[in-house]
Amino acid sequence: MIIFVVGGSKSQKSNYGELIAEKLFNKGNLYYLATMKPYDDEDLKRIEEHIKNRSGHGYITLEVPRDIISVLPMLSKDDTVLLDSITSLVTNEMFNNKQVVKNVKDKIITEVNAISKKVSKLVIVSDYVFSDGIKYDDFTESFRKELGIINCEIAKMSQVVIESSFGNIIVHKGKERINNEELIECI
């Protein structure tokens, strides 16, 4: 099962993703695929906060800022995986070694799909960066377009799609699955 949690900056989406992954976890390992690569002190602080929040919850943290397919040999079908976040993954894949790599969507979708086929439960967190109505430079727009396409593809392959907005939850897809999986307590 794939559960996709999307939301704006500081919308509590990572917290909801963690709660859902922990609720789904019942055997195997509970993995946290951390994709954020720190670029400044604010990033380091955010990473420290995330580590503190999940401390004592049984996560095995794997730092994978790029090439998430590399974790595949470690995973088994009974595992629960939280992938946080697609936004950071797209950033790291597109802006690698001071060069811009366009069209990372196929690579990322292929890798997410491979992980989803290997484990029984995959929770994916991503940002929603499309509602501000601002026109950006071509460089930024190409990033937003890649992220948007990837988010749409992940939503299509997910059984449950949840939006976190200012701490409120909107279930766009799979409401019946949430009730069946007893995830309603998380949201």
Provide the annotated binding site for GTP: 7-14, 63, 84
In terms of phi and psi (left: phi > 0; alpha: psi -120 to 50; beta: otherwise), the region of 154 is alpha
CA dist list (Å): 176 to 61, 138, 169, 184: 30, 40, 15, 10
DSSP state of 159: S
Query: In the chain, what's the furthest Cα-to-Cα distance?
Result: 46
Q: Which two tokens stand for residue 129?
A: 């960066």
> In the annotation, is 50 catalytic?
yes
DSSP state of 160: E
- DSSP line for 4-46: EEEE-TTSSHHHHHHHHHHHH--SS-EEEEE-----SHHHHHH
Contact (CB, 8 A) for 84 and 17: yes
Q: Please state the residue numbers annotated as binding site.
A: 7-14, 63, 84
Catalytic pick among 50, 54, 66, 121: 50
Angstrom distance (rounded) from CA 173 to CA 129: 20
Residues designated catalytic: 50
